[in-house]
């Protein structure tokens, strides 16, 4: 099946630091999505990417759709305590199934 390898699995950083996480796959995806999940809640969409090479920002978040269509990264600048949570990448190919990465658990030390 399609696999998305997301790294790192967890990060423990100081407030104010920048964060970078990425997803890679052996398969090509047409769409890359980044979600954040807080405890006890569903994934919330952060950024959607539709074209290879696309770089999109949403506030302090920036994500890119890799040129090869097999990878994507998410950067968070100047982290704050409310950034704590689990971040998931997800890829979509032709068809309906969205494949999720394993998640990156972000912990922020004030």
Q: Which is nearer to another protein, 3 or 15 (CB)?
A: 3
Q: How far is the CB of 94 from another protein (least distance, A)?
A: 9
Q: Which is nearer to another protein, 6 or 79 (CB)?
A: 6
Q: How far is the CB of 98 from another protein (least distance, A)?
A: 6
Q: How far is the CB of 100 from another protein (least distance, A)?
A: 4
- Per-residue tokens: 101: 């990465």
Residues in touch with another protein (CB under 8 A)? 30-31, 33, 35, 40-45, 48, 50, 88, 90, 92, 95-103
């Amino acid at each position: 099946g399609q696999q998305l390898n997301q790294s790192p699995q967890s990060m423990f950083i100081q407030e104010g630091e920048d964060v970078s996480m990425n997803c890679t796959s052996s398969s090509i995806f047409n769409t890359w999505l980044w979600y954040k999940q807080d405890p006890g809640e569903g994934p919330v969409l952060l950024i959607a990417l539709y074209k290879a090479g696309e770089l999109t920002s949403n506030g302090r978040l920036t994500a890119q759709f890799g040129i090869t269509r097999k990878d994507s990264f998410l950067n968070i600048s100047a982290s704050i305590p409310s950034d704590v949570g689990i971040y998931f990448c997800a890829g979509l190919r032709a068809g309906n199934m969205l494949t999720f990465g394993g998640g990156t658990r972000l912990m922020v030390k004030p």
